[in-house]
A = this chain, B = another copy of it.
């Protein structure tokens, strides 16, 4: 599958130049007409493809899920409506729905254990986004500690949990409204912090813009920010950091 072995095969005459050219072109994805399922992604980026269901019909989501599953991969679908779950379940009866996180998952083999993540929220209303992050990180083998409702309006709640947070390899800080949680955590822990602004709030929160700007402008360093409500992206990045640690022999 790599360039060198194809070229060797050409040299050995096992492969004609035309065949080789074809092989170089035919990359390992399944073309489903409306989508090109990337079975190759796991090799390329360390994780299998996750199905982002917003904007996809239930039928499209289910077809992609089945395509991924037939290769034995675990399947994770995010931003699923109930209709997506129903369609997936028809094709993959063992699929499981997580209402809070709005994810559908199918675990065909347990993921490799790769490290720990603390997922914190400022408030109760941020929990769905945090759950999406947690479920995603778990799907990639992270052990997740959930620490919810520790926002800065009552900062003693955060301090009570700070040692627990410090034990994680990576911290995901999920907050809407003014989003100050990420800054405060960033000043208190020595590990990478992934900040997730949420659209929780009203008025001049402008759909999460307020929390997003807060996190980007944090006076604490060591914070990487993802899109508003992007729990999946935070969980995935946390997984990637833990994967790095795992691959390099850390524990």
Residue contacts A-B, CB under 8 angstroms, 12 given: A40-B154, A152-B183, A177-B219, A178-B213, A180-B218, A180-B219, A204-B217, A210-B216, A217-B227, A241-B241, A245-B248, A249-B250
Q: Mark A9-27, 1 if CB is under 8 A from B, else 0.
A: 0110100110011001111
With the chains together, A229 CA to B124 CA distance in Å?
21
With the chains together, A225 CA to B27 CA distance in Å?
30
Most chain B CB neighbours (cut-off 10 Å) among A54, A194, A209, A229:
A209
> CB distance A55 to B124 under 8 Å?
yes
Is A222 among interface residues, defined by CB-CB distance under 8 A? yes
In the assembled complex, how far is the CB of residue A142 from the closest CB belonging to chain B, in whole angstroms? Answer: 13
In the assembled complex, how far is the CB of residue A174 from the closest CB belonging to chain B, in whole angstroms? Answer: 13
Q: Which residues of B contact A202 (CB under 8 A)?
A: 54, 227-230
Q: Which residues of B contact A67 (CB under 8 A)?
A: none
Is A149 among interface residues, defined by CB-CB distance under 8 A? yes
User: Residues on A close to B: CB < 8 A?
Assistant: 3-4, 7-8, 10-11, 13, 16-17, 20-21, 24-27, 29, 33-36, 38, 40-41, 44-47, 50, 54-56, 60, 122-125, 127, 148-157, 159-160, 169-170, 177-180, 183-184, 186-192, 194, 197, 199-230, 232-233, 236-237, 240-241, 243-245, 248-251
> CB distance B186 to A153 under 8 Å?
yes
With the chains together, A203 CA to B222 CA distance in Å?
17
Selected contact of A156 from candidates B27, B186, B197, B214, CB within 8 Å: B27
Q: Which residues of B contact A178 (CB under 8 A)?
A: 179-180, 183, 213-219
Q: Which residues of B contact A243 (CB under 8 A)?
A: 190
With the chains together, A125 CA to B157 CA distance in Å?
30
Q: Which residues of B contact A152 (CB under 8 A)?
A: 152, 180, 183-184, 187, 219-220
